[in-house]
Structure 1
Amino acid sequence: MMTENSSSKMDTPTNISLVGSVDSVTESIEYKTVSVFLVLLVCGVGIVGNIMVVLVVLTTRHMRTPTNCYLVSLAVADLTVLVAAGLPNISDSLVGAWIYGHAGCLAITYFQYLGINVSSCSITAFTVERYIAICHPMKAQTVCTVSRAKRIIAGVWVFPCIYCMLWFFLVDIQVNQDNRVQCGYRVSRDLYLPIYLIDFAIFYVLPLLLAIVLYGLIARILFMSPVPHRADTAATATVRGTCKELAESGNKANRPARPRSGISSRKQVTKMLAVVVILFALLWMPYRTLVLVNSFVATPYLDAWFLLFCRTCIYANSAINPVVYNLMSQKFRSAFRGLYRCQEHEAQRRTLSTINTSNSVVRDMLEPPLAANGKNKQKCSGAMADRDQETSSKGDAKDKEIEAKPQPIKVSEEEGLDQSMV
């Protein structure tokens, strides 16, 4: 019996969300409440934030830069992690068993590792892009373009898509001693050691080592190299400038000044990306270390609360990047506000459209009677005018008839008698 328990525990899965019920702690109300609350909070914030990053870059023209293209790739990868790893963890915590079947076990495990690996590759891609843009500015004019960034992003996704297909053959549905269905290992845990070591080296150690070297070179250029003074440049332009240049400079002077110069803007972008890399290193360290240690020890360390801490750190890494962009990049902050205002304006426009439609319907219902009344009034007024005109014309004709008719001659009675006698 002890051998079966040990073997079962050794084969318990150690991926980021499909950890089985290892002890009675996971059955407690306290654990379930904390687990569901943390996952819902972090994943909810992360899903909304990453969707906003994708929207502002795709809908705002000036945000379509090579660096932001890589950030869109990172946002989509983070969304994949949050949806494929975070949301199934909620049902796993509540039910305590796997409810998505065999196909769900394969697909969800595949998309978990796909999101993890693409996230790491995207960070490496924008680190290299920043190094070329700052340390080799002449070369960057032809290398650091949006079209080239799109091709690189395609490769960033194709390679992990092929690499992660390995997990289709490594996981399967299992039934533990409590007769609960779990998504776990298909073969012995010892055979997974090379896979975990390769993942740890390719998608964690190498990106961090490369980032340390490249950001060191970038810092030497941005923060240690002398920058030409703007006063000297302005004086030279004043002495050598033509009238046209002076007029153009006057026009530029009337324009609103930028909040930061080109150098300070590049420094700010580099600091922001460096923070993203540092957070990636710190938040992924507990899980990567746990998997590495459990691959070598005879009995893996599977404390429920520590596993929850590792998963929460992973979800936080996928959710925190939009917050970093908003705090450290004025362009992203303005774009986020513009997206929010567009939503407000769209809602107002729909409300006004509904009100106008209602008003037009009411007006259409009221206009026929009003028009009929107006026509009746016009008809009545016209009839009265015709009648007055007819009366006036009749009166004039009568007067003329009276004037034209001969007037009778008044005679005396005697004259009348004489005339009747004749």
Structure 2
Amino acid sequence: MSYPSTFPSDCRPEFSNNLTTYIWYAYSWMFTRSEIQTFTFGLPIVLIIGTLSNGAFLFVVFKIERLHTITNLYLATLAFVDVTFVVSSAGSYLYAFTVSPVRHDAPYDSFIGCTLIFGITLAVYFTSIGLVTLVTLERYYGICLPFQHRVIASKSRTRKLIASTCLIGLVLGAIESLKFSKLDKWCVIWPHLPDFQGWPQKVGFCVPLHENVVLLGEFVDTVPFFVALIWNGYMYARIMYSLSHREVIQKESENDSMGQLQVQATKVRKQVARLLIINGMLFFFCQIWVRFNAINNILSNITGSGFYKNAETSGLMLVFGRCMLYVNSSLNPVIYNLASSFYRDAFKEAFFGNLFNREKATTLAVGSSSKETDVLSDKQINTNI
């Protein structure tokens, strides 16, 4: 068994490192057990579930005409952003894991690979925060300020807001990607041990363009998140209060026919509003762990110490935070189906077509006293979801 003992001829001395006597330091560049398990099992599952679930939701929204609403335009865009995030982020980590045994080895030939991968991932991440906030804002106006909502709501306005959010996400992503926009190529002589047999002598790392960029990037990463968290929290509270207040009013008018019709027409709207609140709260819960890591990096850079006592804990939190991001991006459509019969029916209709329609027609014929009332109720429901 032979091991390289010299550096390749094109290696620069300042970027060459002989680790034959620094065995424990060399071992720190091995993937940890938790990382191996995540990359071997977790990321492939995330890629499959994330792609299929969000792709299925996009298909359903496209096929079912009654889902062509303002809220679902936001949710469809969010589904596309989630697919992009999962593929670019989880896909890039999985690819790096398969081509190199060295942790953080960037398998790119130039800095362009670092800039594109991290830039795209960060841009769609910021865009997802903006889209979740827009969904909450749209429901806030629809439930708490219905008259203003009728005046300003339109699909053209929604498209402009989505385009603006994507542009802001692109700018913020470009700024934070400066933390990874330089590719340093190192030449390494690894310890002459079986664990390092066949390890590459040249490895690359995506590093900050300048050391001061790291702190700027962490602030850019953290501040928009907490601003959105506080703003969304306020709107969630107002929405829940308005929904509970409406339930009291509706109970008082259930005995008259118009009151019953209004109860039917608003039932799904309230269901969807509650669904979106649950989904938004889960979004911020899954995202906040990465924010703790960012705050930890800020404190470490400013004071020299952060939340975590050692590098192992920091590494575990980094893996856990990424996993939570992927879980959130992959399971949004699953949550829609679990929490709302409106979306479950839409999925059934899109994928099972005639079978679902026959079942629904039979149910309506048996359990509905007035077909005309049911149709009118559907129209009212579908105009404001």
Question: Structure 1 length normalisation: TM-score?
Answer: 0.65
- Tell me which residue corresponds to 2:203: 180
CA distance in 1, matches of 2:182, 2:86: 22
- Tell me which residue corresponds to 1:263: 266
- Tell me which residue corresponds to 1:250: none
- Tell me which residue corresponds to 2:221: 199
- Tell me which residue corresponds to 1:108: 117
- Tell me which residue corresponds to 1:352: none
In structure 2, relative to structure 1, the CA distance for the partners of 1:172 and 1:212 (3 Å cut) is: same
User: Aligned to 2:256, what secondary structure does the other structure show?
Assistant: helix
- Contact 2:64–2:350 (8 Å) recurs in 1: no
Deviation at 1:161, TM superposition (A): 1.9
CA distance in 1, matches of 2:238, 2:298: 35
What CA deviation, in whole Å up to 9, does each residue of 1:67-98 have, x standing for no partner?
11111121111112101100011122232322
Deviation at 1:135, TM superposition (A): 1.1
Of 135, 141, 146, 1:126 maps to: 135
User: Aligned to 1:296, what secondary structure does the other structure show?
Assistant: helix
Of 35, 40, 56, 2:39 maps to: 35
In structure 2, relative to structure 1, the CA distance for the partners of 1:151 and 1:35 (3 Å cut) is: same
Of 227, 247, 263, 2:249 maps to: 227
- Contact 1:110–1:165 (8 Å) recurs in 2: yes
- Tell me which residue corresponds to 1:393: none
Query: Root-mean-square deviation (CA), in Å?
Result: 2.9
In structure 2, relative to structure 1, the CA distance for the partners of 1:75 and 1:142 (3 Å cut) is: same
CA distance in 2, matches of 1:55, 1:344: 18
CA distance in 1, matches of 2:29, 2:273: 47
Stretches of structure 2 lacking an aligned partner (at least 5 in a row): 1-14, 16-25, 189-201, 357-385
CA distance in 1, matches of 2:121, 2:355: 35
CA distance in 1, matches of 2:354, 2:175: 43
What CA deviation, in whole Å up to 9, does each residue of 1:36-95 have, x standing for no partner?
210111221011111112221122210011111111121111112101100011122232
Rg larger in structure? 1
Q: Would you say 1:218 and 2:239 are equivalent positions?
A: yes
CA distance in 2, matches of 1:280, 1:181: 33
- Contact 2:127–2:165 (8 Å) recurs in 1: yes
CA distance in 2, matches of 1:22, 1:264: 59
Deviation at 1:342, TM superposition (A): 5.7
Question: Which segment is superposed worse, 334-343 or 66-75?
Answer: 334-343
In structure 2, relative to structure 1, the CA distance for the partners of 1:135 and 1:49 (3 Å cut) is: same
Letter in 2 for 1:140: H
Deviation at 1:106, TM superposition (A): 1.0
- Tell me which residue corresponds to 2:171: 162
What CA deviation, in whole Å up to 9, does each residue of 1:362-411 have, x standing for no partner?
xxxxxxxxxxxxxxxxxxxxxxxxxxxxxxxxxxxxxxxxxxxxxxxxxx
CA distance in 1, matches of 2:160, 2:326: 28
Of 53, 56, 69, 2:60 maps to: 56
User: Aligned to 1:227, what secondary structure does the other structure show?
Assistant: helix
Deviation at 1:167, TM superposition (A): 4.7
- Tell me which residue corresponds to 2:93: 89
- Contact 1:124–1:211 (8 Å) recurs in 2: yes
Deviation at 1:334, TM superposition (A): 2.0
User: Aligned to 2:184, what secondary structure does the other structure show?
Assistant: strand
Residues 306-325 of structure 1: matches in 2 within 5 Å? 306-325=317-336
Residue correspondences, number:
303
- Contact 2:183–2:207 (8 Å) recurs in 1: yes
User: Aligned to 2:299, what secondary structure does the other structure show?
Assistant: coil
CA distance in 2, matches of 1:35, 1:158: 32
CA distance in 2, matches of 1:219, 1:335: 25
Deviation at 1:344, TM superposition (A): 11
- Contact 1:50–1:322 (8 Å) recurs in 2: yes
In structure 2, relative to structure 1, the CA distance for the partners of 1:344 and 1:219 (3 Å cut) is: closer
Deviation at 1:281, TM superposition (A): 1.5
Letter in 2 for 1:208: L
User: Aligned to 1:26, what secondary structure does the other structure show?
Assistant: coil
In structure 2, relative to structure 1, the CA distance for the partners of 1:155 and 1:32 (3 Å cut) is: same
What CA deviation, in whole Å up to 9, does each residue of 1:291-349 have, x standing for no partner?
1111221367653333221111111111111111111122221222233236999xxxx
Question: Structure 2 length normalisation: TM-score?
Answer: 0.71
- Tell me which residue corresponds to 1:99: 107
Residues 273-352 of structure 1: matches in 2 within 5 Å? 273-297=276-300, 298=304, 302-303=311-312, 304-341=315-352
User: Aligned to 1:180, what secondary structure does the other structure show?
Assistant: strand
Of 22, 28, 32, 1:23 maps to: 28
Letter in 1 for 2:266: I
- Tell me which residue corresponds to 1:382: none
- Contact 1:132–1:144 (8 Å) recurs in 2: no
Deviation at 1:169, TM superposition (A): 4.5
Letter in 2 for 1:172: K
In structure 2, relative to structure 1, the CA distance for the partners of 1:283 and 1:169 (3 Å cut) is: closer
- Contact 2:35–2:319 (8 Å) recurs in 1: no
